[in-house]
A and B are shown apart, each in its own frame.
Chain A
Amino acid sequence: MLRKLKKLFVGELFGIIIILTVIITVLAIFGEGFLSSYNLKNLLKTIAITILVGLSQLAVLSIGHLNLALGAMGCLAGMFTGYLLQSYDLPLLFVLLGGLIVGGLAGFIQGVFIVKTQINAFIVTLSFVSIYMGVVTGITKGEVFTKQPEQFQMIDKRILFSGLPLLLVISCGVAIILSIFLFGTVFGRKLLSTGANIKAAAFAGINTTLIVIAAHVMSGILAGAAGIMQISRLGAATPTIGSDWLLISFAAPILGGTILSGGKVSVFGTILGAAMMSIIVNGLFLLDVSQYWFQSFIGGILLVSYGIDKLRRGYMLQNQS
C-alpha cells in the first residue's frame, strides 16, 4: 500500500490534484459565497482565460523558449478585434479570425526574428513587449473600443447546461485539441523532440527552423484567443489587456508540472495549475483578504511548488538505482 502511494506521489499531477481538492473543500465549507452561482460563474470564466494564457506560454516552453510578449500579443489581438467591432459591421467569424490572425502574425514575426538572428528568446520577446505595446498604444493613442454587438457579447455571457460558461468550454476544447496535436501528431512529436534536444532533432531530419516559428505562432494565436475572450468579458477593448499575464502564464504550466528546461510538458497540468491559481485568488477574496496581497500569495505558491518539485526530483534520483 505504501509503495503504491509512493508511486503516486511521483506521478506529477497527484500532488496538485490533492491540493486542489483540499482547497476546494476548505473553501466550500468556510468560504462565504464560494458555491454561489454568481461566484462560480465568474471563477470558471477567469479559469478559462487563465488556461489559454498558460497554454500560450506552454506552446513555447515545449521547445525550450519563453514568450514574455504574450500579454502584448493578446492586447494587440484584442484591440484589433475591438477596433473591427467598433468600426465595421462584419460577420462575427471574420472578426474572430481577424483577431486570431493578428495574434498568429505577431508570433510569426517574433519566431522568424529569433530563428534568423539566433538571439536569445528572452531578449527578443522582452523587446517585442515594447514593440507590440508601442504599436498598440501608438496607433490607438489610448483609445478604448466599447461597441460590441450582441453576438460578440454572448461569448462571455453564454452559459451552457445551467452552469458551464461557454468560455470554459472553449478553453477546454482548445486544450484538448492542443493535447492531441502535441502528443498524437507527427508535427507534435517534432515539436517535443526539438524541445528535448534541438541538435538531435536536426540530425533526425526535423526542420527545426519551421518548428520554432510554428511554436511562436501557436503561442500568438492562443494569446490572441485569450485577448478576445478578455475583451468580451470586460465589455470593452482597452490597452491594459494582457498587462498582468506574465506571472500567470508561467505559474499555470509550472504548477502543473512543466519543467522550464524543456522536454516535459503537460496540458492537463496547465489546466490544473490555472484552476489552482484562480481558485486561491478567489478564496482569498472571499476570506476578505485585501486584494493587494494576492500577488504575494501567487509568488509564494510558486516558490512552494519549486520546493516540492526539487524534493520530488531528489526523491526520484535516489530511487533510480
Chain B
Amino acid sequence: MIGNKDIKYNDIVLDLKNISKSYPGVKALNNVSLSMNAAKVHALIGENGAGKSTLIKIISGVIGFDKGSMFVNSKQVSYSTPREAFSDGINVVHQERNVVPTFTVGENILLEKIADKFIGAVNLDQIYRESQEYIDMVGLEASPSSRVDDLSAAEIQLIEIAKALSSKANILLLDEPTSSLSFHEANALLETIKRLRDQGVSFLYVTHKLEEVFEIANEVTVLRDGKNVGTSLPIEELDRHKLASLMVGRSQKGASFPVRKTATTEPVLKVKNIASKIDCHRKSFVLHEGEIVGWYGLVGSGRTELARILIGYDPAIEGEILLNNKKINIKSVSEALNMHGIAYLSESRKEEGLFLTKSITLNVCSSIWSTIRNCCGLINKRTEKQIAEGYATQLGIKAPSVNQIVNSLSGGNQQKVSFAKTLAAEPNILIIDEPTVGVDVGTKRQIHELILGLAHKNISIIVISSDMPEIVQLADRIMVFSEGDICGEILNTKDYKTMSAQIIDKCLNK
C-alpha cells in the first residue's frame, strides 16, 4: 500500500467541520463540512463560484479559515503555509501544469530532492532510478530521462501525480483534472486514479462534470453558493438528475427558457467542409437567423478551433462559407468583424478578451474605434465614454466609473465588459465561447437572459459550452462535438433528463 502505511480502510483521512471563510463583502464558505474516507475518491462538485477553489485553498494550506475545525488523519490542524499541508501528506494537482519544461521526467518527479541539496552533488542516475517506481505507479509510458518538453499535457499531468506520490502524499486534491485532456486521455486518467485508490491513496476530485462523478466517485459533496447542499453522500444514493438539481438548485427547474421555433427561417450562415491549417477535420453546419445553437463537447473536441476559423483568426484553407447565400472569404479577424459582422467572445477572457491594465472604456470600444473618430483621425472621447457608460448600465457592470481599470473588477463584471466589447461591434453573428466560466450564479443568470434577448433581436448566436445544463437552458438546437468532429445534432426540447442522455449518447457512439 502506498501513501501512509498506517491508514486503515474506513478511517476518515480528512474531516472538515463547519468551515467558514469570508472576504471583504463576500462570504465564500458558510458552515461547510466534508468528511473524506480513506482510499476513496471523494468528488467535490459545484458550479463556478460555489466555493470549491476556496475550500481547496484551505485544505492545501494556501489560506486559513475563519471558523470551524479541520482534522487530517485524526489530528487537528490549521495550516498557515502550503508546506505544512504538504508535510501532512496533502498534495494538489492544479488545473494549470506546473513542471520545469527543460528538465527530465525524473528530475521533475523528484524536484523536492533537488531542492534539498545545495552545495552537495546531485546524482542524476540515482534520481532516474528512484523515479522509475513512481513512473510505473501512474502508468506513464516515458523514460525518466526523457525531456518534459516532448510530452503531451496528459503525460505531464501524470508526472505531477507521480511527483505527489513521491512525497508520500496520501491525500491528493485533483482540481478539474480532465479540463485539458482529450476523451481518451481523460478515460486513461480515471483508470489510473481508480488503480491508485485501490492501492490506498485518497482522492479529493474537484469537478463540475457530472458524468465523471458517476464514473469514478465513491462519495460526493456538493457546494452551492458557499454552502453544503449535500455532504459526503455515498454515490449509490444519487442519480444524475438528483445530482444536477442539487448543484444548480431551483433555477434548474424554475425559470427555464421556453422552446423557440426558429429553425424554419433561411440559414444566415452555411458552412461546408471547412478546414484550416490548424484544424484539419472538415466540418459543416448551418445557422439560422435569430437562432441560438449550442456547441457541446469536452475541451479539445474542436469547437473553439471551428470558431476561430469563422472569425478569421485561423483562416480556412478548404471548404466554403456562405453568408446570406453569398460566398465569402474570411481572411482576418478585422474582416470577419467589420465586413461580415461576425464577432467572437473568447473563453479565456484575461488572455484573449480583455486588456486588463486598461479602463472599461478602452476595452468596450476596442473593436469600434474607427467609428468614433472625427475628421482629423482623433477619437471623440466624449462619444467613447458615452458608449461605454451605455453598455455599463445596460449590462449592470458594477464599477465606480468607466475609467476603472478592468483588472480590479470581479470575474463576473469582467465577463460583462467582455460582452459589452463584443456587443459594441453590433454583430449579426455572435459566437460565445464558455459564457459563464468563473462567473457567480447571479451574473450567470443575467448573461443567459442577455443572450436570449440578443436572439430575440434576430442576432444569430452560437454558444460554446461544456456545461450541459447551460446548453440545455439556452440552445434551440444542439450540436455535439467530439475529438474534432461534429458527431450529432439535436433539437432541444429543454427537458434536461432526455437531452443530457441524448447528448452523452452522441458523444459515446462516435
Direct contact of A and B (CB under 8 A): yes
Where the two chains meet, the residues of A that have a C-beta atom closer than 8 Å to any C-beta of B are: 180, 184-187, 189-190, 192-193, 196-197, 199-207, 262-264, 320-321
Where the two chains meet, the residues of B that have a C-beta atom closer than 8 Å to any C-beta of A are: 23-24, 313, 332-334, 336-338, 344, 346, 351-358, 362, 366-367, 369-370, 373, 377-379, 381, 408, 421
Q: Are B358 and A203 in contact (CB under 8 A)?
A: no
B378: contacting residue among A184, A204, A321, CB under 8 A: A184
Kindly list chain B residues whose C-beta atoms are within 8 Å of the C-beta of A202: 313, 333
Q: Are B367 and A204 in contact (CB under 8 A)?
A: yes
Given A184-B379, A204-B333, A205-B367, A192 and B24 touching (CB < 8 A)? no
User: Which residue on B lies nearest to A189, using beta carbons?
Assistant: B369
25 CB-based A-B contacts, threshold 8 Å: A180-B378, A185-B373, A185-B377, A185-B378, A186-B369, A186-B370, A186-B373, A187-B377, A192-B362, A193-B366, A197-B355, A199-B352, A200-B352, A200-B353, A200-B354, A200-B355, A202-B313, A203-B346, A204-B421, A205-B334, A205-B337, A205-B338, A207-B334, A263-B355, A321-B24
Q: Are A189 and B366 in contact (CB under 8 A)?
A: yes
CA distance A204 to B338 in the complex (A): 11
Question: 9 shortest A-B CB distances, which residue pairs?
Answer: A263-B357, A205-B334, A196-B355, A186-B369, A205-B333, A204-B366, A205-B337, A184-B378, A197-B355
Q: Are A197 and B378 in contact (CB under 8 A)?
A: no
Q: Are A205 and B408 in contact (CB under 8 A)?
A: no
Q: Are B370 and A192 in contact (CB under 8 A)?
A: no
B358: contacting residue among A186, A192, A205, A207, CB under 8 A: A192
Given A186-B369, A186-B370, A193 and B333 touching (CB < 8 A)? no
> Chain B contact residues: over half helix, strand or loop, or mixed?
mixed
CA distance A190 to B351 in the complex (A): 17
Which interface residue of B337, B344, B378 has the most chain A CB atoms within 10 A? B378
CA distance A86 to B378 in the complex (A): 41
User: Which residue on B lies nearest to A263, using beta carbons?
Assistant: B357
Kindly list chain B residues whose C-beta atoms are within 8 Å of the C-beta of A193: 355, 358, 362, 366
Q: Are B373 and A197 in contact (CB under 8 A)?
A: no
Query: How far, in Å, is B427 (CB) from chain A's closest CB?
Result: 12
Kindly list chain B residues whose C-beta atoms are within 8 Å of the C-beta of A192: 358, 362
Kindly list chain A residues whose C-beta atoms are within 8 Å of the C-beta of B334: 205-207
Given A202-B313, A205-B333, A196 and B358 touching (CB < 8 A)? yes
Query: How far, in Å, is B314 (CB) from chain A's closest CB?
Result: 11
Given A199-B351, A203-B344, A186 and B377 touching (CB < 8 A)? yes
Given A189-B379, A190-B369, A263 and B358 touching (CB < 8 A)? yes
Kindly list chain A residues whose C-beta atoms are within 8 Å of the C-beta of B373: 185-186
User: Which residue on A lies nearest to B345, using beta carbons?
Assistant: A203
